[in-house]
């Protein structure tokens, strides 16, 4: 295995650890262990440092290249990865997984479109117009402008949307 493969694997592992530890922190806080939660958040931050270091060594593209790569990844998720995951979960009767995968599939398609808009803007030498961006805390739906009264992907109320700084 080449060093570049090891760097990609390490980046993926560190990124996954970050998200796991952030989830663990929420659970520890809910269970009444605020210092344990703080420890999990600190470790998550450290994992992000590691992931970013590996990514810097791998190198990044310019914004056009990054947007193209993001679109490719999103397209793969909604055309191939998630449809197979949904089918498997349906076959097994795991309705929670079906819902999780279907929500992600729908949102990845939305991300693909948003990245396409951004790519068109950048290619013409412009940024996207200044606007608020909101993310649904239930399904991840991403909306530019105003949060909808009800999420069109998962049906969550407007209060579940958070504005991204």
128-164 pLDDT, tens digit per residue, is 999 999 999 999 999 999 999 999 999 999 999 999 9
Q: Are the C-beta atoms of 44 and 29 separated by less than 8 Å?
A: no
Which pLDDT value is given to residue 34?
97
Beta bridge partners of 135: 142, 162
Residue 125's CB is within 10 A of a number of other CB atoms, namely 6
Beta bridge partners of 20: none
Average pLDDT of every residue of the chain: 97
Report domain 130-165's class. mainly beta
Classify domain 62-127 at the CATH superfamily level.
Ferritin, core subunit, four-helix bundle (1.20.1260.10)
Domain boundaries, the chain: 3-58, 62-127, 130-165
Which CATH number among 1.20.1260.10, 1.10.274.10, 2.60.300.12, 3.40.50.720 corresponds to the domain 3-58?
Answer: 1.20.1260.10
Query: Is there a shared CATH topology between the 3-58 domain and the 62-127 domain?
Result: yes
pLDDT digits (tens, 9 = 90+) for 99-117: 999 999 999 999 999 999 9
């Amino acid at each position: 295995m080449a060093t570049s493969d090891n760097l990609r694997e390490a980046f993926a592992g560190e990124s996954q650890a970050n998200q796991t530890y952030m989830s663990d922190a929420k659970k520890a806080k809910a269970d009444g262990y605020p210092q344990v939660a703080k420890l999990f958040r600190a470790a998550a931050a450290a994992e992000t440092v590691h992931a970013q270091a590996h990514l810097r060594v791998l190198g990044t593209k310019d914004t056009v290249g990054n947007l193209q790569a993001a679109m490719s990844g999103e397209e793969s998720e909604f055309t191939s990865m998630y449809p197979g995951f949904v089918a498997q979960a349906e076959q097994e009767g795991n309705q929670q997984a079906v819902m999780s995968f279907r929500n992600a599939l729908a949102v990845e398609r939305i991300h693909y479109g948003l990245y396409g808009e951004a790519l068109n803007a950048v290619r013409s030498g412009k940024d996207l117009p200044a606007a608020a961006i909101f993310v649904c805390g239930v399904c991840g739906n991403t909306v530019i402008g105003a949060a909808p009264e009800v999420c069109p992907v998962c049906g969550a109320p407007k209060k579940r949307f958070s504005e991204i700084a």
